């Protein structure tokens, strides 16, 4: 009986090792992915004389979700909070014998290294000093060249077809690629950075590659996902840091919205059809407008599952389009078929038949033109030119 139980125990140990290896792999990859979808807040805590304050407690609270993180300053008075979700933060620093200083309204964007410094005053911990203001927008902690399209721009700026790629053209060094739309090239606009090709870019969505085989973002419309899903995105054009893969063009890193402590949602529907469009000149000449139907619709919903702990967010994007194409072809009219062309004298053909039923190959035209001879092949009447 003990012999029979040995294989079962061995198989259980094997499964435990596999699960342990998978857990270690997932935990080791989480920080790498987090660096692509989050930001960092660093700073220095000093006293009123400018000396470093070690051991101070720094608390960072996301005002949207209520999630907090606590860290302490090192011997040089510096603190660092890595892989923080984007959003608005309230940061406080406290230490026994000093007043508590609170910074509110600190916005953390995607890929940003925000610097928030504290100057503590002597006093009771229960006393607090509140400072309201945004962090400096000048990046001084990294050499990466990037541009951020924040949540306000995503929401407020008008877009044709809800294609967020159009906001990329507002950034320096980014132009619209002349490559056209197609089944394999995508339906959205293409961007070119520093002269690179439009298919040499990579799109990241929450740190995961979102590019198709042709290098375009994947969504229902073949474009970058719309404003209902994307919170903000970053265009990295040069000096990529280690967490990003090597790419000849740009790296477009987008982060999706998340749920908060409040329920929120949205819905949209955009309609276009031939009844609302004016006819083109060639359509008026060629017999009318071609049929066209386009419906772009979707929505989003998010909220708390467990307040200050667990949240949910979901979005949907749909596109239905049916479009006809008017095609025109130029063909010879009746006069052209009879040899009557504008600006050219007509050709007169004389044909006479002999008694055997075949025709005489004779043709009289103007002297300066080449001579043509007719030849009967089957039931067809053809001519050749000498």
pLDDT tens digits, 292-337 = 888 989 899 999 999 888 999 999 888 888 888 777 777 888 877 7
Whether residue 251 is found in the same domain as residue 273: no
Give the pLDDT band of residue 277 (cuts 50, 70, 90): confident
191 pLDDT more than 60: yes
- pTM for this one? 0.64
Give the least confident one: 169-173, 258-262, 292-296, 377-381.
377-381
Residue 22 lies in a domain: no
**What does the pLDDT average to over 82-110?**
90
Total domains in the fold of the chain: 4
Lowest mean pLDDT among 103-117, 121-135, 159-173: 121-135
Task: Quick: pLDDT tens for 139-153.
Answer: 666 767 778 888 888
Q: What is the CATH number of the domain that holds 215?
A: 2.170.130.10
- The answer to whether residue 5 is domain-embedded is no
Judge whether 18 lies within some domain: no
- Residue 236 domain-assigned (yes or no): yes
Same domain? For 66 and 125 the reply is yes
What local confidence, expressed as pLDDT, does residue 198 receive? 76
pLDDT, position 33? 44
Whether 195 and 105 map to the same domain: the answer is: no
Residues 75, 167 within the same domain? no
What's the Cα-to-Cα distance from 302 to each of 220, 255, 259, 260, 265, rounded to whole Å? 21, 15, 5, 7, 6
Q: Which of 132, 157, 188 is the last residue of a domain?
A: 132
User: In this predicted structure, what is the pLDDT of residue 386?
Assistant: 42
The per-residue b/e assignment along 24-34, b for 16 or more CB within 10 angstroms, e otherwise, is eeeeeeeeebb
236-262 CB burial, b ≥16 within 10 A, e <16: bbeebeeebeebebbbbbbbbbbbbbe
Domain boundaries, position 81: 38-132
Looking at the structure, do residues 263 and 278 belong to the same domain, yes or no? yes
Q: Does 359 have pLDDT greater than 60?
A: no
Domain boundary among 197, 227, 256: 256
The percent of the chain in helix, strand and coil, each rounded to the nearest 5, is 15, 40, 45
Rounded distance between C-alpha atoms, residue 113 and residue 133, angstroms = 16
**Same domain assignment for residues 57 and 89:** yes
Both 94 and 161 in a single domain? no
Judgement on whether residues 220 and 274 belong to the same structural domain of the protein: no
162 and 247 in a common domain: yes
Q: Is residue 26 one of the residues assigned to a domain?
A: no
User: Tokens 């083109």 — which residue?
Assistant: 280
Residue 375 has pLDDT above 70, yes or no: no
**Distance set, CA 287 to CA 273, 280, 290, 327 (Å):** 18, 11, 9, 11
Q: Is the residue at 14 inside a domain?
A: no
Mean pLDDT of the chain: 76
Residues 244, 273, single domain; the answer is no
In a shared domain, residues 187 and 263: no
**In the prediction, which pLDDT does 241 show?**
76
For residues 294 and 373, membership in a common domain is answered with no
Q: Residue 159 — very low, low, confident or very high, per pLDDT cuts 50/70/90?
A: confident
Tell which of 329, 346, 368 closes a domain.
Answer: 329
Q: What is the pLDDT of residue 365?
A: 43
Closest to 321 measured CA to CA, from 282, 277, 291: 291
In a domain, 189, yes or no: yes
Residue 366 confidence (pLDDT): 42
Q: Is residue 83 part of a domain?
A: yes
120: domain CATH number is 2.60.40.1120
Q: Which residue do the tokens 């929401």 mark? A: 155
């Amino acid at each position: 009986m003990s012999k029979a139980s040995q294989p079962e125990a061995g198989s259980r140990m094997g499964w435990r090792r596999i699960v342990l290896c998978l857990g270690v792999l997932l935990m080791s990859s989480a920080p790498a992915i987090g660096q692509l979808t989050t930001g960092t807040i660093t700073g220095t805590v000093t006293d009123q004389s400018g000396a470093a304050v070690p051991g101070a407690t720094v608390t960072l609270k996301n005002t949207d979700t209520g999630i907090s993180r606590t860290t302490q300053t090192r011997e040089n008075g510096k603190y660092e909070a890595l892989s923080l979700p984007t959003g608005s933060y309230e940061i406080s620093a406290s230490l026994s014998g000093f007043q508590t200083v609170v910074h509110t309204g600190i916005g953390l964007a995607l890929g940003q290294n925000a610097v928030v410094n504290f100057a503590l005053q002597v006093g009771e911990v229960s006393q607090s000093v509140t400072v309201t203001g945004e962090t400096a927008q000048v990046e001084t902690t990294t050499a990466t060249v990037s541009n951020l399209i924040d949540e306000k721009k995503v929401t407020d700026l008008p877009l044709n077809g809800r294609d967020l790629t159009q906001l990329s053209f507002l950034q320096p060094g980014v132009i619209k690629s002349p490559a056209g739309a197609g089944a394999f090239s995508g339906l959205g606009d293409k961007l070119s950075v520093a002269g690179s090709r439009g298919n040499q870019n990579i799109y990241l969505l929450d740190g995961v590659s979102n590019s198709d085989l042709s290098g375009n973002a994947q969504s229902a419309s073949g474009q970058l996902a719309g404003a209902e899903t994307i919170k903000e995105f970053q265009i990295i054009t040069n000096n990529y840091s280690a967490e990003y893969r090597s790419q000849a063009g740009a790296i477009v890193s987008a982060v999706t919205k998340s749920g908060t402590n409040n329920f929120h949602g949205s819905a949209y529907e955009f309609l276009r059809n031939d009844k609302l469009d004016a006819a083109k000149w060639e359509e008026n000449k060629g017999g009318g407008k071609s049929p066209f139907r386009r419906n772009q619709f979707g929505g989003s919903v998010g909220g708390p599952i467990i307040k200050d702990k667990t949240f949910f967010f979901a979005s949907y994007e749909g596109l239905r389009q049916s479009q006809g194409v008017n095609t025109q072809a130029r063909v010879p009219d009746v006069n052209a078929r009879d040899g009557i062309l504008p600006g050219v004298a007509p050709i007169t053909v004389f044909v006479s038949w002999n008694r055997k039923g075949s025709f005489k190959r004779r043709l009289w035209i103007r002297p300066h033109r080449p001579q043509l001879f007719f030849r009967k092949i089957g039931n067809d009447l053809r001519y050749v030119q000498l």
